[in-house]
Each structure stands twice: as C-alpha cells, then as structure tokens.
Structure 1
Amino acid sequence: MGGFCSQPQRSAKHVVIVGGGLGGKSMAGLADTAFAVTLVEKRGAMIYKIGMPRGLVDTSFATDCLVPYDKLMPNGGTVRTGVAVTRVDGSASKVHLDNGSDLSYDYLILAVGARSHSPCEPPPNACDETSTAGIIEYFKKVCEEIKTASRVVLVGGGPVGVELAGEIRQAFGAEKSITVCHSGPAPCHNQQGIDTPAAFQKKLLDACKAQNIDLKLNVKADLSTPAVQEQLAQKGYATGDLPITLSDGEVIQADMVISCIGATPGGQTLEGVTLDGKGAIKVNEHLQVEGFDAGNVFAIGDCTNTQELRLSGTAAGKYKMGMMGATGNADVVFDNIKAIEKGKKPSAKIVQPPKTAMMIVPVGTHDKKMGAVVAPVPNMRHGTLMGFKQKDYFLKIQRDIMNAPLSAKK
C-alpha cells in the first residue's frame, strides 16, 4: 500500500525566544520543527540590518528590508510583536512583559542582539518601533537628510561605513562630499581583533579612491560636542553646521554626521540576567546563561559574552542560511535542548569561525571591482560573491527563509 512520510512528533514543551533578529528568527525556525514556540519581539517586523547601507539611500529597498514574521513558523509557532520582555524569573520559569503580562517557558532563548549606534536601525524612542509604518518613516527621514546634505562625514571605516559611503556616492552622484574617518590604517583593516589581508585592504583603498571618497585614516573624530552627541543619541545622526575635530588636529566641516561604530548589547534591558562588565549576557560553552541552575535558559548572538567573531551566521547558524552559513549559535542551542529532552547532558559547544572569516564589502553597486572579498573557502569566485551582495545584500535569501518572498516584479 502507498503511504506518506509523517512529520516528526512535536513536543508540547514551550520554547520562548526573546528577540527576532537573524539569530532569533533562525532559532524560531529550528524550534518550530520540534516544540511549541513563542517568539517575542518589540518591533513589528525584522529589520534586515545587513541591507540597510542601501536602505538608507533607497526607501523602497528599506521597506523591503522590513521582513514580516507572520509566516516564519509554518508548524504553528506564535509570534508576539509590539511587546518586550523586561524581566526573567528563573525560579518561576516565566518572563515578564512590558504590558504587565507574563509567559511561562520550559526553555528560554535570549536573542536580543545588540542595538547599532548607526541609523541602520532606529535609536530608542526615535520612532514607534512597534509599527512598521513608524520604522519606514524613520528611514525615509534619514534618506532625505542624506540626499539634502552636501558634506557627509561617516565615522567608522568598517563594513557599514564603507558600504554606506559607496551607496551614497552611487545614489546621489559625484557632487556630494563624502568623508570616512577611521582609526585604522585602511578600511576594514581589522575584524574584531584579527587583521584582514593586506590585499583586501588595498582593494578597498583603491575602490574608495576611485569613488572619490575621502578617507581620513589613523584618526579619531571627536563626537562629544553637545550639538553632535545629543543628536546621535536621539536619531542616530547629526545635522547642521558641524565642525568635526580629528585627533590629528584637522577640523573638517560637515552638515551631516553619521556614526557607523559601536553597538549596545540588548541584555542591558533585561532584569534577572547576569551581565559582564561590558553589558553582555554571561554564558558557558554550551550557551547556557549563568545563574540559572535548571540549565534551561540560553542566549545566542551579539548579546552574549562569547569571543566569537560577530558575523551574520554566528547567531543564525546553519538553518537555511545559504552561502552565509556557519556553525552557529542557534544550532548549538537546538542540539542542546534536544539532548536535555533525551535525558542527556548538553554537549554541543560554540565553534570559533576561521581566523579569516568571510567578508564581502562592496563600494557602490555596479562594478564588481569596486570592493573587496575575503573568502577562506578555496575556489570561491570573488567576483561572483561580490555580484551577489551588490545585487541586494542577500535580501531575497533572507526573505525566502522567513517565508516572506518579494513580489515577482522585484
């Protein structure tokens, strides 16, 4: 007789995931195959921050970078948007929400990430983040300010700063003055303590020069003046007649300053969780959060105190990550929860990525030579990788993962 393959039996155990970024959505996708899942996220949609250097100059693309959660978990998982977890009560196995309610859990995964200090995501209170429309309005405002500014200064020459500089040049032409201030000897010279290859650095230097992007290297920009500091805190950028003093004594004039450095770990907003001196959630090698004796509370991604490279695949892991995949935090936690359910001790551990991890940094959108690639996997075609990222920053892949594909016209 004919038959069909039944779905694996799902446990009634309740997995609560706090945070719906790359790590949280990947954790939800995995857990939804085996458990009852609730994902809690303040925002009405996931901001695909990897694509926001283009989103800040193209509001249509920014809108596409807001990915809805409604079809993320096809096996029945629940997404609660518009609310945030404020406290974790390990003794009662509950999380308390900012609307006064609470949620019980059998397993809890904290995936609250780190809030960027750049306008790739709105600062706290800059807009109504519970509303997708509110987030879109914020990005529209940033785009209009960039378009209007004649002298844009970007502070930070890492991937975000370099990519945003290239996108601004591509979108608004050769007349706009674009300056990138960077503390190192070359753009993207260092990846969280690991120097990038000299050839990679040179390609970025050449690409910035070809795009007439003025690089100020081996300097720090003073952003402590009240006119700049207050605006950066309120909206992620500053506008006005802004003289910026560099550490070598040079003063450059700007009418828009954008910070592309730094992030605040999301665990700082949670009560009942042990943090280290930098505000990161303290975890062991199995990603179990310290201070919870039951061993059923985990944390993944940028909110943790692990020493991994902070890459797009680090939190998200193998779950449908495609070419950006890595042995990631979500995989480790999922394997450890399954082990506990079988009466075993957690054995999966975080794995350090290779010392030269993949980086694809375009400077503009058309010419594959305008940018640089570090790809530790042999035989990877750098031009092909650059073309993929220049096309849409891998947005289509991420939307397909979340069962929210773009319309056929796009």
Structure 2
Amino acid sequence: MSHTVIIGGSHAGVAAAAALRQHDANMEITLVCGENELPYQRPPLSKAYMSGEMSLDRLRLRPASWYEENNIALKLGVAATAIDRVGHHVHLDSGDGLSYDALVLATGAEARRLPAEIGGDLPNVRVMRSLDDANGLMTDMKPGQKLVVIGGGYIGLEAAAEAAKKGLDVTVVEAAERILRRVACRETADAFHALHQSHGVTILENTQIERLVEAGGIASAVKLANGEELPLDLAIVGIGIAPNVQLAEAAGLETAVGVVVDDHGRTSDPEILAAGDCTVLPFDNMPTRLESVQNAHDQAAVVAANIAGIDTVYAPTPWFWSDQYDMKLQIAGLNRGYDAVVVRPGKREGAVSHFYFRQGQFIAVDCLNDAATYAMSRKLLEGGALISPEQIADDAFDLRAAMKALQG
C-alpha cells in the first residue's frame, strides 16, 4: 500500500488529502500539521471571524470526525524538520519519522514582519496570519484605542476595517504612492480609500516609517521618515507574506520566491509535489505566486490526481475576494501587465466593476458589490472570450449574452 505524506495543515494540505482519498480508498495518507489546532481557513480570520460573524467551528476546514471517517492520520502540533529524499523519509520534531512514496509540501507562508532593530518584535506590534494572531487582536482591540496599520494591501485594509468597526481610532500608513499599488488599479484603490475615510480611518500614502518608538517595553508610536510621530496603543503590520520554503531549500529542491513547481505540481524531485501559497508555478508563461484559496484548492486537486496516476495539467483562472465594511470585492483573473482599465457600472445601485486589459485582451476584473458581473466575467475568462475595451465601455453590450454564446 502506498503512503502519501502531506506537510502542512493548510487549505492546500487538506484539499490534497480529500482529493487523494477520493482517488484511492486504500492509500495511506498522513497530514502533518505544526499547529495544535484542527486545520482552518485563513482568509476569514481578518474578515468574518474577527467581526464575530463566523464561529471557530465554521472556520474549520473539516471537523475532527472527517479525518477519522476518511482514514487520514492527522498529526497536530508536530513539525517536519527535514526531508531525506534518498531514503524517502520525513523527520519530525517529535523524534519520530514517516516514510513516504509521495510527499506533498503544503507549507503555506508566514506574515512578513518589520525588522527587530526598528521595533518589529515589540509585543504590541502584530501581524494577521494565524488563528492565534486573530484571537490576540480580538482580545486586545478596545474602543478608543489608537491603531496604526503599516501597509495598505488587502490584509492591512481588512484589519483596519474590523478595527474601525470596533471603535478604534485607525491610521493606515502606506509607503507607496497609493494603497493597493501592487494588486489593484487606481480606480479600485480610490474606491477603498473613500470607503475607509467615510468610516473615519486616516490613510497616509507615500509615507515611510523610520521605526517604532519604545516606551516601557512596548511600542508607543510610529516614527515616520519625516520625523512625525503617530501615537499608538497597537500596531498591525500588513506588508505581505513570505513562503515557507525552508524544508524544501534544506532538501535541495529548486526554490525562488517559493517552491518551484511545474504545471503538474511537481517540484525538481518528481516524487515531491507542492501546492498552495508556498509554490511558484508557471502561469501565463511566467513564474507566478497565486496567494488565494482558489489556487490552494485547485492546485492541490491537480497534485492529488497526478499522485494517483491521472495525468493532469494545472491551468487556473485565478479568483480572489476581500470584504471591508459593506463592500464585497470579487476579483477574477490576474491583472499583471495591464495597460488599460474600463469602468462599467453594475445593474444594482452602487455596484461597479473595473475591467483590466493588456494589449486589448481582457485579463481580469475587480467587481465591487457587483456579484452578477463577477459571475459572468469569470465564465468569460475561463472560456477565453475575446472581449474588447470598447464593448465593455458600451452600456448596451450584454455580458450575459456573451457568456451564453461562449457556452454554445
């Protein structure tokens, strides 16, 4: 009987285990999870979980009974420390080991922190990545406190939104010339800038920090590069994530800004595969990291199929989302390299979508409270529909008819 070991209790890790069990009722499957918690969803941590809308039970990817019913050995609170590729063996920090026929790396990523030399390790300087992070912030956030969020990406803005809803005085500091600079067009960024301002959040763009000011063992302020100080009770750092590649690197696998995999999810060692946030995959003829639930789930399913002997290529249509206040942003496609944006109002009041084009080709869309446009646009992207900027700019152009025509 073959044995597949999955390292990482991430969305990708659990999705790989589920897909493997569907393909093979008898395969031995072991899931190694460094946290003591049952594997859980991460995206809702800074959204529904922190707002109290989602309970811990709902946050779980699967209940404990599911692992038993599907004969998946779940090792909680155990970390993999080394991979012996020659001996097909994984060493664990418990002193035990696991032999494998196939190995899946689903090690995810960690939140980037500020350097300790500028105060990044002070106890009230937090990140938002794990359940412990979310629980700590929920406990410490109190109305009237001053919160400084460092970083104006989606994680930072989601944390800012939840804090503002809890009555904190929130300031977001973004080093780039605008929030969401790396991930969204100016039109989308401007909409979120206005949304946060309407809820009392101060956003400082093109603003660099020098260091955290320490007083009594904690951070008392952020000192900016211009000399100004922003007093704080709490700081949240949202400056991106770093893939967990240490195991792969130590094992001699090819890594870049992640574990390098091919379009089957295979690493440079064909008996070791990888999925999720830890990977760099070929997308649109370029090495790419896709930090999303979609990628974690779909790439893991491809990895499982290939382990089961079903030759499967991963060709994703990425999608993402963000919830802030009463705004639901749904993104389909990847806007990398866009050179034009067309704004198209939705059918419902306040709904709008921003369509991205590269050399006249439709590549992505940001849908703001515009679920109908998102659903149709995603189908159009998946089908490779040829839609021009002029068509999207035309109110008379029927997206639904275009989708139906594509479906034949």
The answer to whether the superposition gives a TM-score over 0.5 is: yes
Partner of 1:363: 324
Distance 1:216 1:359 in 2: 25
Change over 3 Å in CA distance of 1:265–1:227 after alignment to 2: farther
Per-residue CA deviations over 1:58-83 (Å, capped at 9, x if unaligned) read 57846343556523444322212121
Between Structure 1 and Structure 2, how many residues are aligned?
A: 318
Are the aligned partners of 1:54 and 1:62 in contact in 2 as well (CA < 8 Å)?
no
Indicate yes or no: 2:129 matched with 1:154: no
2:43 alignment partner in structure 1:
50
Which residue among 367, 371, 374 is the counterpart of 2:331?
Answer: 374
The answer to whether the aligner puts 1:334 opposite 2:304 as a matched pair is: yes
> Following the alignment from structure 2 to structure 1, what is the Cα–Cα distance between the partners of residues 133 and 202?
27
Corresponding residue of 1:351? 315
Read off the aligned partner of 2:291 and give its amino acid letter. R
The alignment status of 1:216 with 2:191, answered yes or no, reads no
> Which residue does the alignment assign to 1:130?
none
Q: Relative to 1, partners in 2 of residues 1:338 and 1:308: Cα closer, same or farther, differing over 3 Å? A: same
Q: 1:138 Cα shift?
A: 6.2
Give the alignment partner of residue 264 of structure 1, picking from 223, 237, 242: 242
Cα deviation for residue 26 of structure 1 reads 0.5
Instruction: Work out the CA distance in 2 between the residues paired with 1:262 and 1:226.
Output: 22
Q: Which shows bigger deviation, 200-209 or 52-61? A: 52-61
- Conservation of the 8 A alpha-carbon contact between 1:162 and 1:361: no
- Kindly indicate whether residue 29 of structure 2 is the aligned counterpart of residue 41 of structure 1: no
Tell me which residue corresponds to 1:22: 11
Q: Is the 8 A contact 1:107 1:296 kept in 2?
A: yes
Q: Specify the alignment match of 1:304 in structure 2.
A: 279
> Match of 1:70?
64
Quickly say closer, same or farther: Cα 1:248–1:277, change in 2 above 3 A.
farther
CA distance in 1, matches of 2:146, 2:174: 17
Taking the aligned partners of 1:281 and 1:136, their CA distance within structure 2 comes to 24
Tell whether the 8 Å contact from 1:308 to 1:352 is kept in structure 2 after alignment.
Answer: no
**Which secondary structure state, in structure 1, belongs to the residue aligned with residue 245 of structure 2?**
helix
Asked whether 1:383 is paired with 2:358, we answer no
Q: 1:49 to 1:385 in 2, by over 3 A?
A: farther
DSSP 3-state at the match of 1:32: helix
TM-score (norm 1): 0.67
Q: Distance in 1 between matches of 2:305 and 2:131?
A: 37
Q: Quick one: structure 1 residues 177 and 382, their matched pair in 2 at CA, closer, same or farther if it must change by over 3 Å?
A: closer
After TM superposition, the score normalised by the length of structure 2 is 0.67
Provide the C-alpha distance between the structure 2 equivalents of 1:304 and 1:15, rounded to a whole number of angstroms: 19
Which of residues 183, 186, 189 in structure 1 aligns to 2:175?
A: 183
**Quick check: 1:315–1:330 contact (8 Å CA) kept in 2?**
yes
Instruction: Report the alpha carbon displacement of residue 96 of structure 1 after superposing the two structures with TM.
Output: 1.1
In 2, distance between residues paired with 1:359 and 1:277?
23
Q: Distance in 2 between matches of 1:48 and 1:265?
A: 17
Pick 1 or 2: higher relative contact order, CA cutoff 8 A, min separation 6: 1
Measured against aligned partners, the alpha-carbon deviations of 1:174-233 in whole angstroms (never above 9, x if no partner) come to xx3201112333332322xxxx2333222111111111111111223234x5849xx9xx
Contact 1:149 / 1:256 at 8 angstroms: preserved in 2? no
Q: Distance in 2 between matches of 1:251 and 1:301?
A: 39
Following superposition, the deviation at residue 40 of structure 1 comes to 1.0
Tell me the distance in 2 between the aligned counterparts of 1:104 and 1:84: 15
Residue from 255, 263, 288 that aligns with 1:276: 255
Picking from 296, 299, 303, the partner of 1:315 is 296
Q: Distance in 1 between matches of 2:368 and 2:146?
A: 32
**What is the letter of the counterpart of residue 70 of structure 1?**
A
Larger proportion of strand: 2
Q: 1:25 to 1:212 in 2, by over 3 A?
A: same
Which residue does 2:229 correspond to in 1?
251
- Determine if the alignment matches structure 1 residue 201 to structure 2 residue 194: no
The whole-number CA distance in structure 2 between the counterparts of 1:315 and 1:80 is: 20
CA contact 1:375–1:382 (8 Å) conserved in 2: no
Question: Structure 1 residues 359 and 206 mapped into 2: Cα distance closer, same or farther (>3 Å)?
Answer: farther
Amino acid aligned to 1:334: A
Code of the residue aligned with 1:288 in structure 2: it is R
> What SS does the aligned partner of 2:177 have?
coil
Q: Which residue of 2 aligns with 1:101?
A: 96
Structure 2 gaps, min length 5:
114-119, 124-129, 282-287, 335-343, 347-352, 354-366, 373-408
Structure 2 Cα separation of the partners of residues 334 and 136 of structure 1: 27
Call closer, same or farther: CA 1:302–1:104 in 2, change over 3 Å: same
Q: Secondary structure, in 3 states, of the residue corresponding to 2:309?
A: helix
Calculate percent identity across the aligned residue pairs.
Answer: 22
Instruction: Assess if the C-alpha contact under 8 Å between 1:70 and 1:79 holds in 2.
Output: no
1:287 to 265, 272, 275: 265
Q: Cα offset for 1:352?
A: 5.2
Q: Which runs of 4+ in 1 moved over 6 A?
A: 135-138, 377-381
Q: How many Å separate the matches in 2 of 1:205 and 1:138? A: 25
